[in-house]
Amino acid sequence: MKEKFEFITNAKSAEFCEGIVNRMISLFGITIDEAIGRMNRDWKGLNLSDPNDVIFHEDEEYWANTIYYGKGSNWWLNPIGLKPRPYNGSLN
């Protein structure tokens, strides 16, 4: 199991990111490793330690869906045939 994020967090952003991971697990039935891996793929190297960071402008559900389906998926419109972004366990 991956134990940490591959981006910079502080206590507040780490807690928020853990909430996103938990939301992905509950929404999509994926493992914690996959949820963290998907998040790391999208946010690797970012500094999310600013209390006004853009991640806080949306809720955990938004980020869980956006990370899982992708930015351009329009997941909130519930399109027919919506599929998650491929994930093979590595950063890609």
Which of 10-19, 36-45, 49-58 is the least confident region? 49-58
pTM of the predicted structure, to 2 decimals: 0.90
Could you tell me the two tokens for 67? 């990370």
Question: Which whole number is the average pLDDT over 35-61?
Answer: 94
- Residues 7/48, Cβ–Cβ less than 8 Å: yes
For 18-33, the pLDDT digits (tens) are: 999 999 999 999 999 9
Question: Which whole number is the average pLDDT over 41-63?
Answer: 94
Picking from 86, 72, 87, the residue whose alpha carbon sits closest to that of residue 37 is 87
Q: Please give the full DSSP string across 12-52, using - where no structure is assigned.
A: HHHHHHHHHHHHHHHHH---HHHHHHHHHHHHTT-B---TT
